[in-house]
Amino acid sequence: SQQIQFADDMQEFTKFPTKTGRRSLSRSISQSSTDSYSSAASYTDSSDDEVSPREKQQTNSKGSSNFCVKNIKQAEFGRREIEIAEQDMSALISLRKRAQGEKPLAGAKIVGCTHITAQTAVLIETLCALGAQCRWSACNIYSTQNEVAAALAEAGVAVFAWKGESEDDFWWCIDRCVNVDGWQANMILDDGGDLTHWVYKKYPSVFKKIRGIVEESVTGVHRLYQLSKAGKLCVPAMNVNDSVTKQKFDNLYCCRESILDGLKRTTDVMFGGKQVVVCGYGEVGKGCCAALKALGAIVYVTEIDPICALQACMDGFRVVKLSEVIRQVDVVITCTGNKNVVTREHLDRMKNSCIVCNMGHSNTEIDVVS
Amino acid sequence: SQQIQFADDMQEFTKFPTKTGRRSLSRSISQSSTDSYSSAASYTDSSDDEVSPREKQQTNSKGSSNFCVKNIKQAEFGRREIEIAEQDMSALISLRKRAQGEKPLAGAKIVGCTHITAQTAVLIETLCALGAQCRWSACNIYSTQNEVAAALAEAGVAVFAWKGESEDDFWWCIDRCVNVDGWQANMILDDGGDLTHWVYKKYPSVFKKIRGIVEESVTGVHRLYQLSKAGKLCVPAMNVNDSVTKQKFDNLYCCRESILDGLKRTTDVMFGGKQVVVCGYGEVGKGCCAALKALGAIVYVTEIDPICALQACMDGFRVVKLSEVIRQVDVVITCTGNKNVVTREHLDRMKNSCIVCNMGHSNTEIDVVS
Amino acid sequence: SQQIQFADDMQEFTKFPTKTGRRSLSRSISQSSTDSYSSAASYTDSSDDEVSPREKQQTNSKGSSNFCVKNIKQAEFGRREIEIAEQDMSALISLRKRAQGEKPLAGAKIVGCTHITAQTAVLIETLCALGAQCRWSACNIYSTQNEVAAALAEAGVAVFAWKGESEDDFWWCIDRCVNVDGWQANMILDDGGDLTHWVYKKYPSVFKKIRGIVEESVTGVHRLYQLSKAGKLCVPAMNVNDSVTKQKFDNLYCCRESILDGLKRTTDVMFGGKQVVVCGYGEVGKGCCAALKALGAIVYVTEIDPICALQACMDGFRVVKLSEVIRQVDVVITCTGNKNVVTREHLDRMKNSCIVCNMGHSNTEIDVVS
Amino acid sequence: SQQIQFADDMQEFTKFPTKTGRRSLSRSISQSSTDSYSSAASYTDSSDDEVSPREKQQTNSKGSSNFCVKNIKQAEFGRREIEIAEQDMSALISLRKRAQGEKPLAGAKIVGCTHITAQTAVLIETLCALGAQCRWSACNIYSTQNEVAAALAEAGVAVFAWKGESEDDFWWCIDRCVNVDGWQANMILDDGGDLTHWVYKKYPSVFKKIRGIVEESVTGVHRLYQLSKAGKLCVPAMNVNDSVTKQKFDNLYCCRESILDGLKRTTDVMFGGKQVVVCGYGEVGKGCCAALKALGAIVYVTEIDPICALQACMDGFRVVKLSEVIRQVDVVITCTGNKNVVTREHLDRMKNSCIVCNMGHSNTEIDVVS
């Protein structure tokens, strides 16, 4: 059986599949080889892969080298992508228009760590437009859009990120954002808590003077609560993760679309008539179920929370135990937030060619290790 | 505004965009550059693009050169794709099992012209398994999966097709299928009517001895009817296009999925809350509307047939004139089968960044020329 | 288990339950006893039930007695119902406006036999407005809206029908329409074929001079085909039943609404989370399934036609054998057009309080007799 | 235009229409006159309407007169209704089974004021089975199912309620529950706050000794908060209204079904193709919109809360101002919880025959007075 892992917690529907078997690899390749556009993209990845960005000397058109990206030459291309993203992000754009004159963020020195995509680029450039100084790294080693990072660098943002960076690169980039002569961050915008953790551990004197932390992920919020309980969170922190716009929109509405998109791009599977089991009926699960039901899949739900289980039932899904349906389903989707929802035993009993997909935040829902 | 053209009349959802503006190009690239799989595919396209397959000498592992494909070395890879496709095509596979012993197609010499994909490969190899001899070319210059063609060639099928072949190559490949010393086709399997037309015009003596034609496209069927009216169709021909499985399944159910897939892959647009107008409420339009409605789009329909218009209305779609909504919509989808449904004037009045997509068979629904 | 039978083949969603057990009776009564309107209606039924309309002398305000209805005094009330129905029947109303001057039906002497409801009254009065003379009886002994019949009688239509008439009354009414001194029908508008059969058998000389028959039911059309095969159909007959407006609108869209309405009114059951099996996935079954799925029921389908079964599958319904799910379902709905779809054995194995509902035309889908 | 008012906040979907014009009256009558069951119910209402239950002497089969209902003779009939309701209320029934032996509610003297229906009867009898003593009145003068009240009385519950009681009767019934020699309530179960208010005002010494109040309506909870703010709520009170089961299930899932049921029973309208505006996109509005969309209505939403408006948009509904669409819609549904959402001016501009329906709790959403 195939195993695919998405992490879909940003508007950009980043996908970072890991440990994919040969089979799904071949499917994906078949997918992109029929897509006449794909080839155009290949040059962004193939050219000089051997040299690490850390070892390259790059300079933007204004002579600045205050960044580290894959290839500054892709800037023009990334700029177009950012411009397209701006068209769908009218709230930020109108905020720019309204407040640009007053520079309400003047004095803010923001260090950020998020996925780096056309959409987050619009956010970063809005912060700059409102007067903030920003230094940015990636919260995920796979999700950076290199050409967007290049466009940011070209525009003068101190960005340190590239797609496929190593674990070591990851922390090096974060450090490059924080550890700067003559500049000290006073605000943190984090997704996952790694940046916050780094500042807290490595630069305690900087941490104490932080005026505010914004954190948008479950994991990061969890870590902040732990810090707070231990009495060590001396800084105001804002939980963006639990906001209704995050819960309903990011999780429900975005996952409703990204589950289809992710499965189609990686497996080319047709949903009509397929039997699917969705593990977990939170907002993410609700979004997945709604989308799959609408496209004609026969959807089962596993859920341990009685209220959510009742909702699944009232929404027309049979609530089952995973072991009851594991033999018959064509697709298994996990969105529980728990560990090892799909066990070795489940994997053994699946049909050949059953697709296993993780929509949850962590990549431990499927016991891949075993 | 962006213009994208799909042709989605096969299970494999082949896409062959033409005349795409820079903008949608950039979107597509952004899409694939975030897809870690895409790069794997790139080698299939990039290597030795300069040399035309017509000029290359290639031999499969059994020493045969009776084919012309991009790169015979991709055969192993294409074989895996075919094997995956077989898993979803249980009808053909069980047909093989049931009838393989009897070779019911012994004596059949089939010349075929279809999209060449993993799915049609399963069909071709089934025909061979049942005893037929097959020679095959592509019905579309963009849609061939090169590695699948290679796998067919390696398996001994006389296949003449590659992705991105020229108009001249296209007819050369068809001719190579028909014009063979010591072998004369007695059956035609066609998609679009080009092969049938070529045999009819160039090899009238072969045409007269054809035992049957199977045609699966609207266009090809139309051409056969014209031939028949003119009294020149001296051969039995079967209209597969109007079969219920084609109309309901290919058109309704497949388009329900491919409209989402196609738009996502090329534009990364989110459907929730978008205003969409679908031109035409036949089976294709019904599929598109159902899918988009399910994902939270606000869908309008244009339709001139009163029954179809009433169906759209009873299905919950406002039936409008295109000019009424053209200023406000985010996406325009054509599936009428008519010419110039979207005119120059419509294009002028659209919102900036409105997406225009053709789901119809012909690429004339949008007046791109103007 | 409860057994309920609908016949839902007209826009008015007439219900004529038969052989209902005590249990469902009690539910229905509970339903209407909480409905403050119902009591208002009771006077229309209760007053002078004992005297058969056949024995009453009634005269309309113009002095005519050329009709036989329950109570001519209800005419004003029925008129209001007809006026309300006219608001949703804009096609007939605009036909009246367009053609009233020319009286295109002058000379037509139409004898009709349909359900008599506000909606058919609009049809009958349109025929009259276009110049036809009409005599009308009911095609069903339960479905007549007495106050509507009264309004027609008051308006001068020769109508012979009342709710709850006996089998004998039924044929007497039909005969009163046909057998008139000095008036001979030249057209038949029939629903079910009883009127046509009566004229054919009893008044062969009238039958021969009929200029046309319009028949709108499966049963009636079937009988006409038999007559035709026997070489005895000497009159042009039009099959309205198979028109797309009947198949798609009457069956698909109307049943989509009436299945909910019928079950709610008779059982007060909530659909969310209920397990339902729908026998048959024709247009009626498709309508039932769509509606129940939308309200959160878990829907299974039984189907013997492979194409329809595949459609059910692609629409997201598990296709099963009735015996597989009969133990677990809360509702069984038949819409196959066959006999004894639900057998004695099925009835025995159902859950206590399982609801059994016939949406098909004939009342033989459920083996009630056993 | 017609005006209909539902109050749909209980599982039984009680309807108490007020100030309905003649037109909708006639529709309803037409509905029930075609329903062969309705007549059976009429005897429950018609018989001895003239004598007030307060003046009748009634005794149950055990000789007790400790109740006041319409007609104790209907008890057997009501019992059957309760038994049917029990089948869908498995949680309470299993609670009975589990705890009946221990009598955990021994010593509880509960005075209750709710709708009195088969479903609440199951609740009341469960409380009794667990050891409580109960006295009960109706929270609404229209909603009592008389035969259910009779069954409760026959079973020994002190119930004081009948359908169509006067305002004066209403308070008299409440008082009869509280004001009993030798029995003093120690718990209150209320729906709307009238009983709580009565005890608080008239029997302050009883109120002080109440051990707990359970309140299940928005209004009642609002009144309790006011009492609490004024420092006068000396008793623990539990807000059942805001529980997830009430918000999601009562409001979302129940309204999804009752909006259809209510409109069908009162107006016989077909939803397919109708234009509907739903005012308010809270849980009730979400339920209404989902149901109407599923049946093919074209649904618009008005909403002032930006998050709810965005949800409506992402769910595929055009968010509009009421005045924008008031001319074109066929149905207006209010579920805002506000006053005068539909104003005199809106009523004036509606299409003839537009249906106006209140799904909100209060009956002031439509400015009927003007």
Q: What is the pLDDT of residues A233-273, one digit of tens each?
A: 999 999 998 888 888 888 889 999 999 999 998 888 899 99
Report the pLDDT value the prediction gives residue D363, as an integer from 0 to 100: 64
The percent of residues in chain B predicted with pLDDT above 90, rounded, is: 71
Encoded tokens for C17: 């339950």
B138 beta partners: B114
Helix (H, G, I), strand (E, B) or coil at C265: helix
C-chain residues near B311 (CB < 8 A):
248
Residues of chain A contacting residue D244, judged by C-beta atoms under 8 Å apart: 307
User: Which helix or strand (DSSP H or E) is residue B137 part of?
Assistant: strand B133-138
List, for residues C83-109, the tens digit of each pLDDT value. Answer: 989 988 989 999 999 987 899 999 999
How far apart are the CA of C226 and the nearest CA of chain D, in angstroms? 33
Q: Looking at the predicted structure, is the pLDDT value of residue A42 above 60?
A: no
DSSP track, B187-222: EEEESSSHHHHHHHHH-HHHHHT--EEEE-SHHHHH
User: Residues D124, D157: contact at Cβ < 8 Å?
Assistant: yes
Q: Which residues in B lie closer than 8 A to residue C312 (C-beta atoms)? A: none
Phi then psi for residue A256, to 5 deg, are -55, -35
How far, in Å, CA of C248 to CA of A121, rounded? 51
Closest by Cα among A12, D351, D370 to C87: D351
Region D151-169: mean pLDDT is: 96
Residues of C in contact with B245 (CB under 8 A): 307, 310
From chain A, the residues in CB contact with C295 under 8 A are 316
Q: What is the largest CA-CA distance in chain D?
A: 63
Instruction: Find all residues with CB under 8 Å of B223, minimum gap 6, and list them.
Output: B193, B196, B197
- The string of pLDDT tens digits covering residues B188-232 is 999 999 999 999 999 999 999 999 999 998 889 999 999 999 999
Please name the member of B253, B311, B314 whose beta carbon is closest to the beta carbon of C314: B253
pLDDT band at A34 (very low <50, low <70, confident <90, very high): very low
pLDDT of B23 over the 70 cut: no
Q: How many beta-carbon pairs under 8 angstroms link A with B?
A: 200
Nearest to C145 by CA among C134, C136, C135, C133: C136
Distance from CA of D202 to the nearest CA of C (A): 32
Residues of D in contact with A248 (CB under 8 A): 307, 311
Q: Which residue has the tokens 């079973």?
A: D155
Cβ separation of A80 and B118 shorter than 8 Å?
A: no
Q: What is the mean pLDDT of residues D7-33?
A: 28
Which residues does residue B355 pair with via DSSP β-bridges, in sequence order? B2, B331
Whether D2 shows a pLDDT value over 60: the answer reads no
Contact B294 A296 (CB under 8 A): no
**pLDDT at residue D27, rounded to an integer:** 26
What is the pLDDT, as a whole number, of residue B121?
Answer: 98
Taking contacts as CB-CB distances below 8 angstroms, the residues of chain D near B324 are none
Closest residue of A to C270, CA-based? A314
- Weakest mean pLDDT among B58-72, B223-237, D16-30, D121-135: D16-30
Q: How many CB pairs under 8 A join B and D?
A: 38
Is A273–C298 a contact, with Cβ atoms under 8 angstroms apart? no
Nearest to C347 by CA among C369, C326, C319, C320: C326
Is position C324 annotated in a ligand binding site?
no
pLDDT tens-digit readout, A45-94: 444 557 899 999 999 999 999 999 999 999 999 999 999 899 889 899 99
Chain D residues close to A249, C-beta within 8 Å: 310, 314
**How does the average pLDDT of chain A come out, rounded?**
85
Instruction: Assess whether pLDDT exceeds 90 at residue B133.
Output: yes
| Rg (alpha carbons) of chain C, rounded to whole number | 22
Average pLDDT over residues D322-339: 92
Q: Token pair of D171, please?
A: 């308070």
Q: Which residue of D has its CA nearest to B312?
A: D273
B239: left (phi over 0), alpha (psi -120 to 50) or beta: beta
Q: What is the mean pLDDT of residues B298-309?
A: 95
The whole-angstrom distance between D326's CA and the closest CA on chain B is 16
- How far is the alpha carbon of A7 from chain D, nearest alpha carbon, in Å? 22
Q: A362: pLDDT confidence band, cut at 50, 70 and 90?
A: low
B248 vs C contacts (CB less than 8 Å): 307, 311
pLDDT in tens, D220-241: 999 999 999 999 999 999 999 8
Pick the residue of C11, C27, C36 with the most D CBs within 10 A to test the interface with D by mutation. Answer: C36
List, run by run, the mean pLDDT of 10-residue segments along chain C (370 residues): 41 29 27 29 45 92 95 96 90 92 95 96 97 96 95 97 95 97 96 95 96 92 94 93 84 92 89 96 95 96 94 96 96 88 92 89 74
Range of lowest pLDDT (A90-104, A348-362, D258-272): A348-362
Domains of chain D with CATH codes = 48-245 (3.40.50.1480), 246-358 (3.40.50.720)
Least CA distance to A30: which residue of chain B?
A: B81
pLDDT at D13 over 60: no
Chain-centroid distance of CA C303 in Å reads 25
Q: How many CB pairs under 8 A join B and C?
A: 16
Question: What residues contact residue C44 under an 8 Å CB cut-off, 6+ apart?
Answer: C70, C71, C74, C77, C146, C147, D29, D33
CB atoms under 10 Å from CB of D237, counted, come to 20
Instruction: Sort strands A212-215 and A298-302 into parallel, antiparallel or unpaired.
Output: unpaired
Taking CA atoms, what residue in C is nearest to B253?
C314
Q: Least CA distance to C253: which residue of chain B?
A: B314
Distances (CA, A) of D222 to A36, D208, D337: 62, 20, 13
> Between A244, A249, A307, which is nearest D244 by CB?
A307
The pLDDT of B34-52, averaged and rounded, is: 44
The pLDDT mean for chain C works out to: 85
Question: Which residue is closest to A270 within chain B, CA to CA?
Answer: B257
For residue A340, the model assigns a pLDDT of 84
Position C361 scores a pLDDT of: 64
- Cross-chain residue pair B32–A36, CB shorter than 8 Å: no
Give the mean pLDDT of B158-171: 96
- A-D interface: how many C-beta pairs under 8 angstroms? 16
**Edge-to-edge strands, sheet with C212-215:** C158-160, C133-138, C109-114, C187-190, C212-215, C237-239
- Chain centroid to CA C230: how far? 28
Nearest to B316 among D297, D313, D314 (CB): D297
Q: State which amino acid sits at residue D300.
A: Y
- Shortest distance between the Cα of A118 and any Cα of chain B, in A, equals 9
Residue of B269, B276, B311, B314 to mutate, testing the D interface (most D Cβ within 10 Å of its Cβ)? B314
State the burial class of residue A229 (Cβ atoms within 10 Å of its Cβ: 0-12, 13-18, 19+).
Answer: exposed
Distance from CA of A253 to the nearest CA of B (A): 7
The predicted structure's pLDDT at residue D361: 64
Which positions of A make up the binding site?
A: 117, 191, 216, 246, 250, 282-287, 303
Q: Which residue of B has its CA nearest to D319?
A: B273
Cα A67 from Cα D206, distance rounded (Å)? 75
C-beta atoms of D270 and C254 within 8 A: yes
- Cβ of B33 within 8 Å of Cβ of A145? The answer is yes
Inter-chain touch C315–A296, beta carbons under 8 Å: yes
What is the spatial distance between Cα B33 and Cα B41, in angstroms, rounded to a whole number?
12
Which of A359-363, B226-230, B243-247, D91-95 has the least mean pLDDT? A359-363
Q: Supply angle C-alpha D216, D217, D222, rounded to 5.
A: 115
pLDDT recorded at residue B363? 64
C76 is in an annotated binding site: no
Of C273, C297, C316, the CB nearest to A298: C316
Q: Which residue of A has its CA nearest to D315?
A: A253
* pLDDT for B267: 84
Nearest by CB to residue D253, choosing from A249, A253, A314, is A314
When CB atoms are compared, the residue of D248, D311, D314 closest to A311 is D248
Instruction: List the single residue in B with minimal CA-CA distance to D316.
Output: B296
Q: Model ipTM?
A: 0.80
Do residue D298 and residue B314 have CB atoms under 8 angstroms apart? Answer: no
Long-range contacts for B86-92 (Cβ within 8 Å, ≥24 apart)?
Answer: B86/B122, B87/A352, B87/A353, B88/A269, B88/A270, B89/B119, B89/B122, B92/B122, B92/B123, B92/B126
Query: pLDDT (tens digit, 9 = 90+) per residue, A142-174?
Result: 899 999 999 999 999 999 999 999 999 999 999
Give the pLDDT band of residue B127 (cuts 50, 70, 90).
Answer: very high
Residue (of A136, A168, A164, A12) closest to A68 by Cα position: A136
Decide if D44 and C25 are in contact by the 8 Å CB cutoff. Answer: no
Residue B166: pLDDT over 60: yes
Give pLDDT, residue A99. 86
CB contact under 8 A, B307 and C253: no
Residues B46-53, mean pLDDT to the nearest whole number? 67
Instruction: Test A39 with B45 for CB contact under 8 angstroms.
Output: yes
How confident is the model at residue A81, as a pLDDT?
92
